[in-house]
Amino acid sequence: MLLTFLSHQWTGFWRSKSKTGTIATQLIMGFLILYLVIVSIMVGYNMQGIIEQVLPGKDIMIVFNGVILYYYAMEFLIRMQIQELPTLAIVPYLHLNIRKQTLVNFLNLSALFSPFNILPVFIFFPFIIMNVRPDYGLFACLMYLATILSLTVFSNYATLYFKRLSTGNMKIIMAGAAFLLVIAGLEYFKIFSISVISNMVFQTISKYPPVAFIFILLATAMFMINSRYLKNNLYTEELKSGTGKKSSTDYPFLDRFGEVGTLVALEIKLILRNKRPRATVSKGLIFLFYGFLFYKQNVLENNEFGKILFAALFMTGNMILLYGQFMFGWQGAEFDGLLANKTDIRTFFRAKLLMLTLSSTLLTLITSLYGFISWKLLLLHSAAYLYNIGIGAVIVLYFATRNYKYIDLKKGSSFNWQGVGASSMLMAVPILLLPYLIYFPVSLLSNPYWGLAAIGIIGTMGLLTRNYWLTTLVNAFNKRKYKIAAGFREQS
């Protein structure tokens, strides 16, 4: 039976409706996975050399042991974003003569087919086999390997379990995000360290290998918990988003903007109530952690803003880039209706600008928390903010008038290439390059602060001349509006 399911998945994949358009993306995906696998094998095979080069003089085992849990922590975060729940696949089987347990087994099995589950094997196994075995003996080596496998299995099913629990449950998502933020903060300020814990755990295993059975037990327990939950909740309406009462909402704050505000409210609802835009926007929130990666003390002390400008631009403007790149495809399904309505195009564009501005303002407010690390970051973020709303938003909307690709709102966003085209790829180049073109000459001629000021000033100028840019956008749109609308009508 399970084989039949798998063969159905396989045929389903090859006969997928959007296949003609996706053959290229499948190839790219394939190469991407192949590339990842090759890189992992190289890293795994040369782990010893890499550690010696990156951190010379340190004990290789300690570094290696410290990395493992770190890897899984990061992996878990990425999994939560990317890994899809293979639930909908079972809908056509629910009413047939197939036992529930079989369906659950199928869901569990198909969840294992993920590149996440194979990468750790390539990354960690070679080193363990080459280094742990000679030093600690065969049994310890086997238990090491078993621990790696257990952690992978645990992470796999924990992701699915928590994702299922949190679908449509904002509270759990918020609590999870807050928890992660605290952990990241503690790690950044060196109050708490995953690598120390990891090192402790694996040193214990190398000395007392049977300890690893705890991990095998944990993985088994997670698997059981997930299966149990699935078996008890195998109702599609419960595994999908909540069935709570849908109420009409309005955003009084937006009322002051009149018709523009109404259009913004409409788009906010579009984002909150549909899977793909919601996923795109919430993915943007992950990038708020960029600061912890890029904002290093020595960079800040030397005022090397060029090195962190990208992070600032992206954190304060990721909605503009991530959501804006598929503009107006989000509204592709009702685009004809929008055009035929009693709104003029100028208002339409003003609403878009307002929404992008609001998003960027919100992100800038959140990221101003980085000000605790250094006040310089506030300057950096302000400059990036002004640039994003003054220039970035306009560039995004200009490229949007060249995008004819419909977006299916119900699909997930991970590895979803629908709507990705040359214009959305190209768009990021000028938006992210321009600030550097402004910053570097000015900061070389005077100093880095003037460089930031220049970015801010250019952004402000963009804001002050917004009416002119609006006219440009409206003209660009009117030239192509029939083509855009026709493109959306084709739907995929």
Partner 1 sequence: MIIEISKLIKTYAGRTVVNIEKLVINEGETVGVVGNNGAGKTTLFRMLLDLIRPDSGEILSKGTNVAENDEWKKYTASFLDEGFLIDYLTPEEYFLFIGSLHQMSTPDVIGHLERYKEFFNGEILDSGKYIRDFSKGNQNKIGIASALMQNPELLVLDEPFANLDPTTQIRLKAYIKSLKSAQLTTLISSHDLNHVTDVCDRIILFEKGIMIKDLYTTENTLNELEAYFSK
- From 54, 96, 191, 340, residue interacting with partner 1 (rule: CB under 8 A): 96
- From 20, 235, 298, 342, residue interacting with partner 1 (rule: CB under 8 A): 235
- 15 near partner 1, judged by CB under 8 A: yes
Closest CB to partner 1 among residues 4, 465? 4
b/e 266-276 (16+ beta carbons within 10 angstroms → b): ebbebbeebbb
The count of C-alpha atoms lying within 13 angstroms of the C-alpha of 266, restricted to the half-sphere facing its C-beta, is: 14
- From 18, 169, 193, 236, residue interacting with partner 1 (rule: CB under 8 A): 236
Give the interface segment with partner 1, choosing from 147-155, 208-216, 241-249, 464-472 (CB under 8 A).
241-249
- 238 near partner 1, judged by CB under 8 A: yes
CB of 237 to partner 1, least distance (A): 6
b/e 112-134 (16+ beta carbons within 10 angstroms → b): eebebbbbbbbbbbbbbeebbbe
For 314-337, the DSSP string reads HHHHHHHHHTGGGTTGGGGGGHHH
Contact 415, 82 (CB under 8 A): yes
CB of 107 to partner 1, least distance (A): 16
- From 190, 246, 342, 410, residue interacting with partner 1 (rule: CB under 8 A): 246
- 98 near partner 1, judged by CB under 8 A: yes
Interaction residues for partner 1, span 101-130 (CB under 8 A): 101
- From 100, 207, 273, 489, residue interacting with partner 1 (rule: CB under 8 A): 100
Closest CB to partner 1 among residues 7, 447? 7
Closest CB to partner 1 among residues 238, 304? 238
How far from chain centre, in Å, is Cα 67? 22
Q: Is residue 5 reached through a cis peptide bond, with omega within 30 degrees of 0 on the bond before it? A: no
Give the interface segment with partner 1, choosing from 14-22, 115-123, 269-277, 295-303 (CB under 8 A).
14-22
- 410 near partner 1, judged by CB under 8 A: no
- 237 near partner 1, judged by CB under 8 A: yes
CB-neighbour burial class of residue 24 (10 A; exposed 0-12, middle 13-18, buried 19+)? exposed
Question: Which pairs with CB-CB distance under 8 Å and at least 24 residues apart come from 439-444?
Answer: 439/305, 439/306, 439/309, 440/306, 443/305, 443/306
- From 12, 168, 258, 441, residue interacting with partner 1 (rule: CB under 8 A): 12
Residue 112 CA to residue 103 CA, distance in Å, equals: 15
Residue 358 CA to residue 361 CA, distance in Å, equals: 5
Closest CB to partner 1 among residues 238, 259? 238
Closest CB to partner 1 among residues 19, 58? 19
Closest CB to partner 1 among residues 20, 97? 97
Residue recorded with tokens 């949007």: 400
Q: Which residues bind partner 1 (CB under 8 A)?
A: 4, 8, 11-12, 15-17, 91-92, 94-101, 235-238, 243-246
